[in-house]
Amino acid sequence: MFGADRVDFSLLTRETGEVAAQRTEGAAGRRTTPPPSRRVFASRHLTRFAALLGGGVIALASPAFAQTPAPAPAPLELRLADVGRFAVFVDMGGIAWTGRTARLRVLQVAEEGFLAGTEAFWGGWRHAVLDCDARTIAHAGFSSVRVGGKEGPISGDQRPAEPIPTGGADDAVAKVVCDGRRPYAGVAVATSVEDAVKLGRPLIATGAEP
């Protein structure tokens, strides 16, 4: 643990034992003090041992070693853009702009009980690059979100940009991001994926309209 400053406890015990024995002999009239070399050896190792102990106590008591709780994730700003097969929420706080081109992600909330194979999912994040002037979108990968919020890795490369079809989910996203449209005014902005799931799934079931 202490590297080059590690103390040999067997040596320390033997030497300090000899010092104690010599003091006992001195009390009987044979020798009153140990030889200087042994006094220096024992003193040096006892001092180093005390320093190491003290350093360990200080290190353990230091705030740097204290466990602190992990910071809570920052709240999201998930605005509902469309309801169809999925409830589609735009992550407004995660949009990165370059001129009139936005790199963003969209949360697709799936219906209640949605399964892929035998696993249950809340939905997933769809990543995209949206050109507001050209009205094109380039899909840039997808990451699943399992029930409970565990996210998978982003899979898929960025595709070539293509025109946004009128009336679909991408069109609804473009209107929110590019035009500032705010559909579903009665639906609160979700601050977490779980909130979006709670808001979106009943809307999918009832077929809510903007």
Q: Is residue 123 part of a domain?
A: yes
Alpha carbon separation from 122 to 52, 118, 169, 197 (Å, rounded): 53, 13, 18, 7
Q: Is residue 178 part of a domain?
A: yes
Enter the tokens of residue 142: 């997808």
In a shared domain, residues 129 and 176 = yes
In 10 A of CB 169, how many CB atoms? 20
In a shared domain, residues 131 and 199 = yes
More confident residue, 55 or 74: 74
Report the pLDDT averaged over residues 164-182: 97
Q: Is the pLDDT of residue 107 over 90?
A: yes
Q: Is 117 left (phi over 0), alpha (psi -120 to 50) or beta?
A: left
**Cα distance between residue 28 and residue 34, in whole Å:** 14
Q: What is the average pLDDT value for the chain, to the nearest integer?
A: 80
- CATH classification of the domain holding 152: 2.40.128.710
More confident residue, 92 or 38: 92
Where residue 133 falls among pLDDT bands split at 50, 70, 90?
A: very high
Q: Is residue 192 part of a domain?
A: yes
Where residue 69 falls among pLDDT bands split at 50, 70, 90?
A: confident
Q: Is the pLDDT of residue 65 over 80?
A: no
pTM for this one?
0.68
Q: Is the pLDDT of residue 28 over 80?
A: no
Q: Is the pLDDT of residue 46 over 60?
A: no
**Torsion sign across C-alpha atoms 187, 105, 96, 99:** negative
Where residue 73 falls among pLDDT bands split at 50, 70, 90?
A: confident
In a shared domain, residues 17 and 85 = no
Give the pLDDT confidence of 200-209 residue by residue, as tens digits: 999 999 998 8
In a shared domain, residues 118 and 33 = no
- Domains in the chain, number: 2
Range of the domain at 121: 78-206
**Cα distance between residue 210 and residue 203, in whole Å:** 11
Residues in the chain: 210
The residue from 12, 34, 65 where one domain ends is 65
In a shared domain, residues 148 and 119 = yes
Enter the tokens of residue 76: 């999201």
